[in-house]
């Protein structure tokens, strides 16, 4: 009957959209409200890759959701593509929901009014939103006028996507009142961001009310200016985060992380599981060497994923690493994947011998060099381009040799070596601890 709720006792609804045309998607979202009910508390809407979700239809669905299910606590929208048409409808709908605890809206921007409404909710625990374009000054002004506001008092996870200066993210993080903040994710879509602005962002994270509980920091920017670089100074404020287990910084540009920075990281974050600093995709020789890996192996015993550009020249290792085992008697068995960016390599066998002693469980190495086959793709227009690709492909081939040919063999040889030593009562060389 008209007006009858079809599913009056439904508490959770997960919609996976597999429609292909705009018309099909419009029909789906315009009729979705028939599944909503007064007891609905959890709603997930996931659109598969394909045709973009019509903004008006999506906005109408969320508007009806707010009207029919005002007690909603969990809202997760993941539509394909960006839809600014839905912004007014979805923003207004959010402002009428008073019990939200978890909000994730990845691809539809929300207004300043909606963001401030969410920030004032006492029950909100996780917030992931895309801010509307062109509201940078409005956000800064609104937050400056409310110094005593109790914004985000119970927040544990914050994810912001926006196009504007880093001041927006820095200011918002400083306003977080929750002492339970664990995860911070910032995606800045501006064309260029200076390392000093990133330093200010990390400083805001380091002094925010929940800094003592932060476990994960993830920052992505489009690019760093050509005359700028991300260095140990850029990330220095984060060293106060004693419980950090994940640090990811992604940007197109220079990363100048040296061995000293690796030493400081290893001594400061012993529980680190994921470290991704770039790695840079430029042709410059990285300042970090294999010595930096020794520091990380000794200090970060739980590290399982590493992204760092290095100079893999084994002749630059300290003399002690040549006299004793490369890892100085320490074996880090957690690391399974590395991304070395455009780290040029000359001697794959020597590098494999080093890595097998330090990281015997390593089973994946990614690099930023093209394959030889790429030189013959259609997009390669000149012989000069082809020659450059072929020159780069040499380093991809060498890293592949490390990963697939030499490293597994050296790992097996070292196992046999240890077994032989145990059978014959040989004592291993004493460990040399430098952390």
Q: What is the pLDDT of residue 399?
A: 97
- More confident site: 419 or 228: 228
Least confident interval from 166-170, 179-183, 279-283, 356-360: 279-283
Residues 234-251 have pLDDT tens digits of: 999 999 999 999 999 999
Residues 186-227 have pLDDT tens digits of: 999 887 899 999 999 999 999 999 999 999 999 999 889 988
In whole angstroms, what is the distance from residue 333 CA to residue 431 CA? 16
Binning pLDDT at 50, 70 and 90, where does residue 119 land? very high
Cβ neighbourhood burial of 230 (10 Å; 0-12, 13-18, 19+)? buried
Binning pLDDT at 50, 70 and 90, where does residue 83 land? low
Is pLDDT above 80 for 79? no
Q: What is residue 428's DSSP assignment?
A: P
Long-range pairs for 409-415: beta carbons < 8 A, 24 or more residues apart? 409/352, 410/352, 410/353, 410/355, 410/356, 410/357, 411/356, 411/360, 413/356, 414/356, 414/357, 414/360
Q: What is the pLDDT of residue 50?
A: 47
In whole angstroms, what is the distance from residue 110 CA to residue 133 CA? 9
Binning pLDDT at 50, 70 and 90, where does residue 127 land? very high
Which residues lie below 8 Å from residue 202, measured CB to CB, with a gap of 6+? Answer: 217, 234, 235, 236, 237, 238
How far, in Å, are 120, 151, 305 from residue 97 at the CA level? 12, 17, 39
Q: What is the pLDDT of residue 290?
A: 94
In whole angstroms, what is the distance from residue 293 CA to residue 308 CA? 9
Q: Helices marked H in 300-347 — which ranges? A: 319-323
Specify whether the backbone of 7 is left (phi greater than 0), alpha (psi in -120 to 50) or beta.
beta
Is pLDDT above 90 for 427? no
Q: For residue 276, what are the β-bridge partners?
A: 248, 307
Structure tokens at 34: 């028939």
Q: Output the CA torsion 88→93→98→99 (10° steps).
A: -120
Domain ranges within the chain, ordered by starting residue: 1-110, 143-252, 268-435
Around Cβ 159, how many Cβ atoms within 10 Å? 19
Q: Output the CA torsion 112→113→116→121 (10° steps).
A: -140
Cβ neighbourhood burial of 166 (10 Å; 0-12, 13-18, 19+)? buried
Find the radius of gyration of the CA atoms of the chain: 26
Is pLDDT above 90 for 80? no
Q: What is the pLDDT of residue 322?
A: 66
In whole angstroms, what is the distance from residue 233 CA to residue 316 CA? 24
pTM of the predicted model as reported, rounded to 2 decimal places: 0.91
Residues 35-74 have pLDDT tens digits of: 999 999 999 987 654 445 666 788 889 999 999 999 999 9
- More confident site: 170 or 414: 170
Q: Output the CA torsion 318→322→326→330 (10° steps).
A: -80
Structure tokens at 37: 């009910």
Residue of 325, 363, 365 lying closest to 345 (CA atoms): 365
Indicate the helix (H) or strand (E) that contains 197: helix 195-207
Average pLDDT (325-353) is: 91
Binning pLDDT at 50, 70 and 90, where does residue 146 land? confident
In whole angstroms, what is the distance from residue 13 CA to residue 17 CA? 13
Residue of 270, 257, 274 lying closest to 183 (CA atoms): 274
How much is the mean pLDDT over the chain? 89
Residues 373-405 have pLDDT tens digits of: 887 886 777 888 888 889 999 999 999 999 999
In whole angstroms, what is the distance from residue 242 CA to residue 215 CA? 9
């Amino acid at each position: 009957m008209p007006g009858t709720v079809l599913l009056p006792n439904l508490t959770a609804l997960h919609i996976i959209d597999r429609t292909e045309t705009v018309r099909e998607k419009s029909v789906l979202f315009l009729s979705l409200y028939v599944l909503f009910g007064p007891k609905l508390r959890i709603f997930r809407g996931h659109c598969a890759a394909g045709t973009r979700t019509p903004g008006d239809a999506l906005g109408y669905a969320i508007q009806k959701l707010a009207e029919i299910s005002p007690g909603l606590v969990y809202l997760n929208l993941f539509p394909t593509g960006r839809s600014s048409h839905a912004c007014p409808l979805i923003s207004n709908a959010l402002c009428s929901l008073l019990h939200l605890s978890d909000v994730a809206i990845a691809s539809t921007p929300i207004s300043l009014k909606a963001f401030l409404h969410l920030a004032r909710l006492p029950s909100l625990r996780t917030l992931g939103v895309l801010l509307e374009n062109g509201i940078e000054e409005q956000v800064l002004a609104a937050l400056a006028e409310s110094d005593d506001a109790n914004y985000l008092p119970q927040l544990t996870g914050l994810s912001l996507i926006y196009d504007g200066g880093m001041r927006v993210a820095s200011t918002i993080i400083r306003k977080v009142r929750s002492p339970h903040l664990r995860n911070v994710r910032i995606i800045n879509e501006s064309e260029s961001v200076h390392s000093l602005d990133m330093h200010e962002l990390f400083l805001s994270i380091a002094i925010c009310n929940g800094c003592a509980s932060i476990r994960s920091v993830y920052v992505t920017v489009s690019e760093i200016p050509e005359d700028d670089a991300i260095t140990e100074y850029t990330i220095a404020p984060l060293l106060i985060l004693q419980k950090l287990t994940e640090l990811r910084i992604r940007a197109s540009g220079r990363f100048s992380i040296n061995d000293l920075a690796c030493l400081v990281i290893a001594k400061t974050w012993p529980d680190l599981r994921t470290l991704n600093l770039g790695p840079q995709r430029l042709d410059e020789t990285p300042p970090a060497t294999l010595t930096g890996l020794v520091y990380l192996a000794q200090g970060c015993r739980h590290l399982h994923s590493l992204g760092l550009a290095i100079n893999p020249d084994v002749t630059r290792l300290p003399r002690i690493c040549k006299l004793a085992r490369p890892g100085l008697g320490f074996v880090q068995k957690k690391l399974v994947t590395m991304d070395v960016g455009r780290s040029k390599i000359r001697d794959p066998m020597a590098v494999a011998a080093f890595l097998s002693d330090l990281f015997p469980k390593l089973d994946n190495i990614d690099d930023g060099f093209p394959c030889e086959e790429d030189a013959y793709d259609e997009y390669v227009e000149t012989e000069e381009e082809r020659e450059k690709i072929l020159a780069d492909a040499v380093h991809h081939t060498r890293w592949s040799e490390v990963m697939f040919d030499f490293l597994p063999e050296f790992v097996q040889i070292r196992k046999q070596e240890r077994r032989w030593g145990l059978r014959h009562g040989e004592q291993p060389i004493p460990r040399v601890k430098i952390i």
